[in-house]
Each structure stands twice: as C-alpha cells, then as structure tokens.
C-alpha cells in the first residue's frame, strides 16, 4: 500500500502543476468544452499518470510496459481490434434506438473538408481520453492493488471509483453511472485476457468518437460542438438514455453483455495466474 500512496502523492503534485499550466491555455481558449481545450487537457492528464508510473517503475525496477501500455504495441493489432468493437457497439446501439423511434440524424452540421478536419480532431481527443481513463484506472493502480487483494476485487473497487467520478458530470444519472461501472469491468476483462490495455483503449476511443462526433449525441452527460449532424434523441429515457446519451439506454446494457460474452470466447483465458506476476503482462502473454 505504500507504493500506492506514493503513486497517488506523485499524481497529486503533478496534477497541481498541470492545473497551473492549463490555466494559461484557459486564458486563450475560454470554452472548456472546446475540442482544442479538451485535447490539451486530456493529453496533459494522461501525461500526469504516465509520468508518475515511470517514476514507480524505476523504484520497483520493472519495465513501464508492466503496467499495461507496452509502447511497441501502440496503435497495433489489438488497438484496431478494440476500435472495430467500439465502433460496432455504438453503431448497433444507435441503430436499435433509431429502430424504436428514439434517434433522428437530422441535417449535416459540417460540410466538405470540415468533416475530415473535425473527425481527426475528435479522434485525437478521444484517443487521449481513452489513454488517460484506461491507464488511470486500469494501469498502475490496478496492477499494484491486484498484487495485494487479487485482480477482480481490485478491478471492482476501481470500477466503482470510475463510476462515482462520472456521477459529477453534468447530465449524468444513475443509469449512466451503472453503465460506466459495467464497461469498466469489461475493459478490465480485456486487460486480463490480452495482457495489455491497448484493446480497451481502442474500444473506448472509438465508442466515444462514434457517440460524440459520428452520431452527434450526448456522451456521459456532455454535448459537444463541431459534431457531424444536428441529431436528436426523443422518447423514454429507458430507450435513449436521456441526458446521459445512448450509454444510459437499456440496449446499451444488453449490447455490453453480448460483447462481453463474445469477448470471453474469442479471447480465451490465459493459463498463467496473475498472483505476484505483473497484471498487464502475464508470463504466457507474448510481447511484440
């Protein structure tokens, strides 16, 4: 637990420095929901947690990849497999909501080259959103806590913390929080089975990209500018998710369960127990 305390202390110090520096950007970009500000903020937040883990890796005398993000697998096969899953999930989810009369795409909000430009900007934003949230909750913290209490108890505790933090998002509700906790556990399963966070990062980034930009609906209670269309959600909250967005829809939970089951069969359990072995790279996992 001393290592966890040191990690959290380092994060607190670096986070304070990050906040001071971001205030300078806030003076230039007044809108904190601007994609530009979000890109700066999310990349800085990822830098904070990753830098703290680098310090701990030196103290623990283990390679940084032990915590789940081997750089030689960055944007590799697992990442793109995850991206395909995430894009399919949000497309199927919005399709189901549409089939029951809850979604209307509306008119295009962007035209011509602006579509590609903002797609690339939002793609970058959500890549760093995924890197930060996956590494913050399923990187060093999960690796170290799992060594003390076991992988799944640690994953459950951190998933609950992940959900609680989302409760402070404007427009978030209990259904949305439950969805966040559920997907956090699914992402933990991908780490357990693949040995890295890259599949979860791709899944997470593509889902958020599809929700915010491609289908132009609320994402965890937030509605952002420069999305593809003037889409609207209408109908009961159980169908659309209300202010939370599609992730609060009952279909979101059903799809999540189906995808978790498919993942269970497509990525079979590795034989090595994690016990004292690194959570992110069990002995039987290959490293490129």
User: Each residue of 175-220: pLDDT tens digit?
Assistant: 888 888 999 999 999 999 999 999 999 999 999 999 999 999 988 7
Residue 144 in domain:
yes
Higher pLDDT: 271 or 64? It is 64
Task: Read off the pLDDT of residues 34-75 as tens digits, 9 standing for 90 and up.
Answer: 898 899 999 999 999 999 999 999 999 999 999 999 999 999
Half-sphere exposure of 50 (CA within 13 A, CB side): 18
The secondary structure element, H or E, covering residue 101 is: none
CA 143, CA 134: separation in Å to the nearest integer? Answer: 12
Choose among 210, 24, 223, 10: nearest CA to 130. 210
Count of domains for the chain: 1
> Is the Cβ–Cβ distance between 209 and 91 less than 8 Å?
no
pLDDT score of 287: 34
The predicted structure's pLDDT at residue 285: 37
Pair of tokens at residue 14 = 């670096």
Q: Tell the residue number behind the tokens 């420095």, with chain if given.
A: 17
Whether the pLDDT of residue 105 is over 50: the answer is: yes
88 has pLDDT over 80: yes
Q: What is the pLDDT of residues 223-251, one digit of tens each?
A: 888 999 999 999 999 999 988 889 889 99
Could you tell me if residue 286 is inside a domain?
Answer: no
Domain housing 152: 74-266
Query: Domain for residue 82, yes or no?
Result: yes
Domain contains 147: yes
Task: Please report whether residue 225 resides in a domain.
Answer: yes
pTM across the whole model: 0.89
Identify whether 192 is part of a domain. Answer: yes
Residue 151 in any domain: the answer is: yes
Give the residue with greater pLDDT, 281 vs 208: 208
Report the pLDDT averaged over residues 5-26: 90
Enumerate the β-bridge partners of residue 108.
229
Strands (E), 177-256: 232-233
Cβ contact 176:220 at 8 Å: yes
- Is residue 34 in some structural domain? no
What is the C-alpha to C-alpha distance for residues 145 and 13, in angstroms, rounded to an integer?
A: 21
């Amino acid at each position: 637990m001393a290592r966890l305390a040191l990690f959290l202390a380092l994060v607190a110090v670096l986070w304070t420095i990050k906040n001071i520096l971001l205030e300078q950007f806030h003076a230039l970009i007044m809108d904190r929901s601007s994609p530009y500000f979000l890109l700066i903020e999310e990349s800085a937040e990822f830098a904070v947690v990753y830098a703290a883990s680098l310090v701990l890796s030196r103290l623990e005398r283990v390679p940084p990849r032990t915590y789940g993000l081997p750089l030689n697998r960055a944007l590799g096969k697992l990442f793109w497999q995850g991206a395909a899953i995430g894009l399919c999930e949000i497309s199927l989810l919005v399709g189901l909501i549409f089939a029951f009369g809850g979604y209307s795409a509306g008119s295009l909000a962007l035209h011509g080259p602006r579509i590609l430009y903002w797609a690339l900007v939002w793609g970058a934003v959500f890549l760093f959103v995924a890197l930060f949230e996956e590494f913050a909750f399923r990187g060093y913290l999960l690796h170290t806590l799992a060594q003390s209490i076991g992988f799944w108890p640690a994953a459950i505790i951190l998933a609950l913390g992940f959900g609680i933090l989302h409760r402070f998002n404007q427009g978030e509700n209990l259904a949305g929080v439950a969805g966040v906790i559920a997907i956090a556990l699914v992402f933990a399963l991908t780490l357990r089975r693949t040995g890295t966070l890259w599949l979860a990062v791709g899944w997470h980034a593509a889902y958020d990209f599809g929700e915010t930009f491609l289908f132009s609906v609320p994402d965890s209670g937030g509605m952002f500018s420069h999305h593809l269309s003037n889409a609207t959600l209408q109908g009961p909250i159980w169908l659309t998710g209300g202010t939370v967005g599609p992730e609060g829809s009952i279909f979101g939970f059903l799809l999540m369960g189906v995808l978790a089951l498919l993942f269970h069969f497509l990525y079979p359990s590795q034989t090595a127990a994690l016990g004292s072995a690194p959570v992110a790279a069990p002995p039987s996992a290959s490293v490129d």
